Chain A
Amino acid sequence: MSTREKLLLLVVLGVAPVLVTLATFAMSFQRAEQVSFCGDCHTQAPWIVDMEDPNSKSLAALHYRNRWILDDQCYTCHADYGFLGPIKTKIRALKEVAIYYSGIGMPRQIKLPKPFPNANCLQCHGPAANFRSDPTHAAVMKALVVNKLSCVTCHQPIHTIKR
């Protein structure tokens, strides 16, 4: 085998797969933030139907209808924040996709894997002047920050699902 062939093998079997994997990781994880991606699994349909319903009074629908969140509305609320938050979210989501297609460990009913963290709401609302100046929020701010009191205790309904 000539040196040129050996170099070609190194590129095809060593370098190119790494580059393709990195590019596909970056591209697909970014696309996976879109609402259409979440809607690809039909089990998510009721949540998206509610969000896009112009008559729905749910928080998801209000955020969507009023353009409070411009794009990637599912991801913006459901992704964890912080240093490793987005990575953890994407790994968890990939597991859920695998469960959906394999059927192994499929729950009977869709529910959040953990209580909804206030940080996901405070990421946007926390610095807002009207949120901070509200006396009700000011009174419970410490409890909100440490997740002792959930935002969704007062702010309901998040989604209005028609099964």
Chain B
Amino acid sequence: MPTLIEAALISTGLGFLLAVPCIVDTTPITMCLFFFFGVPLFGLGFLLYAYSVLRDLRTHGIL
């Protein structure tokens, strides 16, 4: 599996991990963790994924 996809999966996985405490018990600390770290990690995961897809399409001459 390409490294970029691995990095995207790790980043998204960490985002999910940070969402769990906020969903189970919303406190200021769990909310802060999700909003300030979890959501950016989701964003980073998606950007890495999108970049990987674009790179793949270029490699195959589609773009």
Query: Chain A interface (Cβ within 8 Å of chain B)?
Result: 1, 9, 12-14, 16-18, 20-21, 23-24, 27-28, 31-32, 37, 40-41, 94, 97-98, 100-101
> How many residues in B have their beta carbons less than 8 Å from beta carbons of A?
26
| Nearest chain A residue, comparing its CB with the CB of B5 | A9
Within B27-58, the residues touching A (CB, 8 Å) are: 27-32, 34-36, 38-39, 42, 45-46, 49
Q: Is the CB of A12 within 8 A of B27?
A: no
Q: Are B34 and A98 within 8 A (Cβ)? A: no
Candidates B5, B8, B9, B34; contact of A24 at CB < 8 Å: B34
Q: How far is the CB of B3 from chain A (nearest CB, A)?
A: 14
Residues of B within 8 A of A28 (CB): 22-23, 26, 30-31, 34
Nearest CB in chain B to that of A10: its residue: B49
A34 to B8, CA, bound (A): 35
CB nearest neighbor in A for B8: A13
Contact A37 B9 (CB under 8 A): no
Q: Judging by beta carbons under 8 Å apart, are A12 and B28 in contact? A: no
* B45 CB to nearest A CB, Å: 5
Given A17-B46, A24-B22: A97 touches B28 (CB 8 Å cut-off): yes
Say whether A31 contacts B26, CB under 8 Å: yes
Contacting residue for A101 out of B1, B28, B38, CB 8 A: B28
User: Are A12 and B9 within 8 A (Cβ)?
Assistant: yes
> What separation, in Å, do the CA atoms of A100 and B42 have in the docked complex?
24
User: What's the Cα separation between A24 and B30 when bound, in Å?
Assistant: 11
**Nearest B-chain residue to A31, judged by Cβ:** B26
| Pair A100/B12 contact, Cβ less than 8 Å | no
Known: A13-B8, A20-B42, A98-B36. 10 other contacts (CB 8 A): A13-B9, A13-B46, A14-B49, A17-B15, A20-B19, A24-B19, A24-B22, A24-B23, A27-B26, A28-B30
- Considering the chains assembled together, what is the distance between the CA atoms of A120 and B28 in angstroms? 24
